[in-house]
Copies of this chain bind each other. A is one copy, B any other.
Amino acid sequence: MASKSSIEKDRSIIRELIRDARQTNVALAAKVGLSEGAVRRRVERLLAEGQFHFAVIPSPSFMGRPVHTMFEIQSAPGATEQLIEQLVAMPEISYVYHVTGQFDIVAVGYFTSSNEMRTFWTERLGNLDGLMESRTLMVLRVAKRAHEWAREMATDEADPD
């Protein structure tokens, strides 16, 4: 086989970490075919470049925030960025996406109760500058959370010349 390109080594490292975020650099090194030090330097570089990050995903219920809500938000013309900034500044909101379609923004929040969510929606979301229309979706269940494509393309070693 031809040696993997540098970026393919980087991607192999990240794919391995997606499979197991807590494996050691020693284990990674054995899998991608580098020394422990080389893997460690690549991981640090990739983190600094923002190519991936380590995260802890809590169970919102266990943390006391069982009410999982998505808000679809339509902004007044030209007001989308301003609206996004306001949403980003709200601690109740965990995720903010700029999207195409009828709605311009999707925001996700976790609340301690449906009552807290309602209060947030009526008193804080409803008062945002530039908001034209919004819809609320309650998330009943997270049925999947996995990047299965990270397991693809594990080997390009079977390529014939």
- Spell out A's residues near B (CB within 8 Å): 10-11, 14-15, 17-18, 21-22, 50-59, 62-65, 70, 84, 87-88, 91-101, 103, 106, 110, 135-152
Contacts and interface: CB of A to CB of B under 8 A. Distances in A.
Contacts of A110: 147, 149
A54 B52 CA distance: 13
Copies of this chain, tallied across the complex: 2
A106 B58 contact: no
Contact of A11 (B64, B92, B100, B151): B64
Contact of A53 (B18, B57, B63): B57
Given A145-B94, A145-B95, A150-B63, A56 B139 contact: no
Given A87-B144, A93-B144, A143-B84, A106 B137 contact: yes
B148 A58 contact: no
A58 B51 contact: yes
Nearest to A59: B51
24 contacts: A18-B56, A51-B58, A51-B62, A53-B56, A53-B57, A54-B54, A54-B56, A54-B57, A63-B150, A88-B143, A94-B149, A95-B144, A96-B142, A96-B143, A97-B140, A97-B141, A97-B143, A99-B137, A99-B139, A99-B140, A101-B135, A101-B137, A103-B137, A110-B147
